């Protein structure tokens, strides 16, 4: 999930008591180490990374593999193999190449949106493979979910895009209302209006669905993949990582109801 300035500042104030630094790093198992780091000797910006780990060749690029200008969002990639990177997946070279090296040929695609600011700091803005394309515009689910959370009426939300011939994708919003908030048509309208006002008319949700919890892993990551599979009536794959598999049946029932 994207770690934006607001939760970063909350954590720094309430957990770190504004005394202890947050040393932000990101990497991957397949990388065998870090991609972006925050050296303890460098100034810290909320939710940012100071820069790439030496030797990894990180960049932020568009679909053609061209570096993105300051302030613009693109794919986080590695322009060359790093010394600790895996060479393949077990007995499946083709899947390894298709997953990491063939999306933007010649570059390792990590699957995250990233951006650099005017001071050279880097930011991660959510998973690129969760990206929703509506009327030609690509938007990360975290941005849409943030708009809904700002209503102050839901505890959690997962927004996914479902393919649509006319618009590219249509939005489905799966929401957990706050205690004491009625899951009714008025709340649906409030959520719809928030998206329209914040993002534009094309972001009017196709459906708003209310549940008591969202499918999540043991480290509390919401599994949008599972939500999308239920909404499209396709296989969700391996569900062994879910800490609350009962949410899948609840979502199915809510969709039918």
* Domains of the chain by residue range: 5-128, 131-256
Please state which of the four CATH numbers 3.30.300.30, 3.40.50.1980, 3.30.70.2660, 3.40.190.10 is assigned to the domain occupying 131-256: 3.30.300.30
Q: Give pLDDT tens digits for 127-174.
A: 777 778 787 777 888 889 999 999 999 999 999 999 887 787 899 999
Q: How far is CA 51 from CA 109, 121, 130, 157, in A?
A: 17, 6, 24, 31
SS3 call for 136: coil
Please report the pLDDT score of residue 254 as a whole number: 93
Q: What is the Cα–Cα distance from 163 to 142, expressed in whole angstroms?
A: 19
Domain 5-128 -> CATH class: mainly beta
Q: Give pLDDT tens digits for 214-223.
A: 999 988 889 9
SS3 call for 31: coil
Give me the residue label for tokens 């394309």. Answer: 133
Q: Specify which residues 34 forms β-bridges with.
A: 27
Q: What is the CA radius of gyration of the chain?
A: 19
Q: How far is CA 56 from CA 18, 27, 83, 164, 207, in A?
A: 32, 10, 8, 38, 42
């Amino acid at each position: 999930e994207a770690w934006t300035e607001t939760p970063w500042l909350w954590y720094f104030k309430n957990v770190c008591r504004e005394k202890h630094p947050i040393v932000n790093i990101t990497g991957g198992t397949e990388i065998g180490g870090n991609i972006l780091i925050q050296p303890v000797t460098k100034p810290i910006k909320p939710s940012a990374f100071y820069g790439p780990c030496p030797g990894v060749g990180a960049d932020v690029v568009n679909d053609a593999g061209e570096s993105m200008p300051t302030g613009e969002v693109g794919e986080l990639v590695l322009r060359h193999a790093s010394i600790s990177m895996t060479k393949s997946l077990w007995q499946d070279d083709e899947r390894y190449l298709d997953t990491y090296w063939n999306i933007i040929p010649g570059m390792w695609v990590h699957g995250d949106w990233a951006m650099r600011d005017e001071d050279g700091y880097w930011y991660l803005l959510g998973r690129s493979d969760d990206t929703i394309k509506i009327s030609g515009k690509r938007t990360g689910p975290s941005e849409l979910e943030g708009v809904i959370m700002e209503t102050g009426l839901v505890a959690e939300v997962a927004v996914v895009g479902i393919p649509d011939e006319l618009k590219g994708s249509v939005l489905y919003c799966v929401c957990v209302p706050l205690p004491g908030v009625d899951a009714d048509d008025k709340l649906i309208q409030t959520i719809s209006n928030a998206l329209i006002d914040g993002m534009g008319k094309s972001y009017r949700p196709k459906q708003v669905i209310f549940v008591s919890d969202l499918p999540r892993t043991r480290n509390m990551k919401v599994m949008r993949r599972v939500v999308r599979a239920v909404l499209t009536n396709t296989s969700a794959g391996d569900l062994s990582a879910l800490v609350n598999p009962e949410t899948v049946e609840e979502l199915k029932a809510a969709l039918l109801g």
